[in-house]
Amino acid sequence: MRSELEGAPRGRPLRPAPWRGAVRGIALASALALAALASSCEDDADECGDCGDAGPTKVTFTDVDLDVRTAVLYRGFRNEDCAKKQVCVGTPDVLLGDARWQDPEAYCVLEELVAFAPGRRPFPVGSQSGRRVGTGSDIPDFKVTFEQPVEIPVVVFYYAGSSSDETAANREIVVDDIERANRWFDDLGAGVRLTYRVDGDWDLHSVPPTATDDTAAMRAGCDSDGSAAVRGRPAIYRPSGDQGEPAPINVYYPPKLNSGFMGVHCYPTTPGMGTQVTDPRGTQIAYRNVLFVSFELRSEATLAHEIGHALGLVQPLWGHADWLNLYVPFPGQSGNLMNSGNPDVTNVTIGQIYRMHFDRLSWLNLETSLLAGPLKRDCGANVFEPVPCPPINLRAPGWP
């Protein structure tokens, strides 16, 4: 199954998913319970104002400026209860209240603390990393040293057009899309950055209209099983990185896609079930290393949105915030990275950033990836539940 449309071409209706009715029935059956989760005090920590109450637990940061707005997701014993999705923010240090991994008289299934900041990779602190100060039921303080954003290599093949002026204009569009996506990812705390510069420039390759088979493969996009014809075209497909380097995501800019979509990202019919293909050089890869952006129908946000799909935001309903919003409120949905057809991006939720970095569906966490961090989870399709991963619509009000 394709990752589906980034959005229907402007002026055309969305093409409904064949299984959407079944999902609607399941979702509506539990809508009230999920809505209660989505509107809890933990989801709106600023408004509730309890993050610094009833205890001195503090998260401090060693490598951010004093005016940087940080956010902390805490799951564990806190203020005499088990917090499943507590989010607190600070500038830069964060107060959590009376937060302990485990009280002698209470056992919390979840024990996790993850820190977020603009322009930094989300950092899992505590039981996984051993950086907690304090043992047993003592009130711990946490000290965080962030890492730089994950650098995701991309190689781009774009339609050259019929003249040198058109080639130059198309190349400028691609560069603008990459640099704009990086600004959004930095400013909104996504913790990733597109890269792959060759001799100080982007790894971009023009495909002339005379290369008819290559351009036809680019127009074809994804097949129904998540495969793509471009993988059979060695001149326009790079399955592996150089020795010791991460494999790139292959990005294609055809003049338009045969499907009529603004953009599309390819992934298997059963994502998360280990479906893989083997490239001719023997490197195990998954389908998620290919995406397409239509020159004719793209918006300024299409590339960033499709990268979101590649980083695991694919289920249910292809991870689209506007479709998920039909069942459970999705704060900030209209400007969300995964809103289909967006012309702009104004927010990415904590739940989405968490999945981009820690869900096994993410391109960062493939079995052969050189980009994976210390934490991997099978988040699953129950995206509004607080376990095993925080709700996908969980946000930090006022952050970043």
Residue in the structure block whose two tokens are 């051993």: 130
Residue in the structure block whose two tokens are 């967006």: 342
Q: How far apart are CA 150 and CA 128, in angstroms?
A: 19
Domains of the chain by start residue, with CATH:
2-26+149-365 (3.40.390.10), 40-144 (no CATH)
Q: How far apart are CA 347 and CA 206, in angstroms?
A: 32
Which tens digits make up the pLDDT trace of 73-94?
A: 998 888 888 888 999 999 999 9
Average confidence (pLDDT) over 280-303? 77
State phi, psi for 213 to the nearest 5 degrees: -70, -40
Which tens digits make up the pLDDT trace of 171-189?
A: 999 999 999 999 999 999 9
The CA-CA-CA angle for residues 329, 331, 332, to 5°, reads 135
Q: Is the preceding peptide bond at 118 cis, omega within 30 degrees of 0?
A: no
**Residue partners of 115: CB distance under 8 A and separation at least 6:** 59, 61, 70, 71, 72, 73, 94, 122, 123, 125, 142, 144, 146
Query: What is the number of other CB atoms lying within 10 angstroms of the CB of residue 188?
Result: 22
Residue 196: pLDDT above 90?
Answer: no
Are 85 and 108 in contact, with CB atoms under 8 Å apart? Answer: no
Residue in the structure block whose two tokens are 């933990």: 42
Are 364 and 149 in contact, with CB atoms under 8 Å apart? Answer: no
- Chain length of the chain: 400
Are 189 and 400 in contact, with CB atoms under 8 Å apart? Answer: yes
pLDDT band with cut points at 50, 70 and 90 for residue 47 = very low
- For 72, counting Cβ atoms within 10 Å of its Cβ (0-12 exposed, 13-18 middle, 19+ buried), the class is buried
What is the 3-class SS of the chain, one letter each residue? CEEEECCCCCCCCCCCCCCHHHHHHHHHHCHHHHHHHHCCHHHHHHHHCCCCCCCCEEEEECCCCCCCCEEEEEEEEECCEEEEEEEEEECCCEEEECEECCCCCCCCCCCEEEEECCCCECEEECCCCCCEECCCCCCCEEEECCECCEEEEEEEEEECCCCHHHHHHHHHHHHHHHHHHHHHHHHCCCCEEEECEECCEECEEEECCCCHHHHHHHHHCECCCCCEHHHHCHHHCCCCCCCCCCCCEEEEECCCCCCCCCEEEECCCCCCCCCCEECCCCCEECHHHEEEECCCCCCCCHHHHHHHHHCCCCCCHHHCHHHHCCCCCCCCHHHECCCCCCCCCCECCHHHHHHHHHECCCHHHCCCCCCCCCCCECCCCCCCCCCCCCCCCCCCCCCC
Of 85-99, 128-142, 259-273, 320-334, the poorest mean pLDDT is in 128-142
Cα-Cα-Cα-Cα torsion 15, 16, 17, 23, nearest 10 degrees, comes to: 160
Query: What is the number of other CB atoms lying within 10 angstroms of the CB of residue 65?
Result: 9
Share the mean pLDDT of the chain.
Answer: 79
Residue 26: pLDDT above 80?
Answer: no
**Closest to 85 measured CA to CA, from 93, 95, 75:** 75
Average confidence (pLDDT) over 259-270? 81
Residue 101: predicted pLDDT: 66
**Closest to 34 measured CA to CA, from 396, 380, 320, 384:** 384
pLDDT band with cut points at 50, 70 and 90 for residue 49 = low
Residue 351: pLDDT above 90?
Answer: yes
Are 215 and 257 in contact, with CB atoms under 8 Å apart? Answer: no
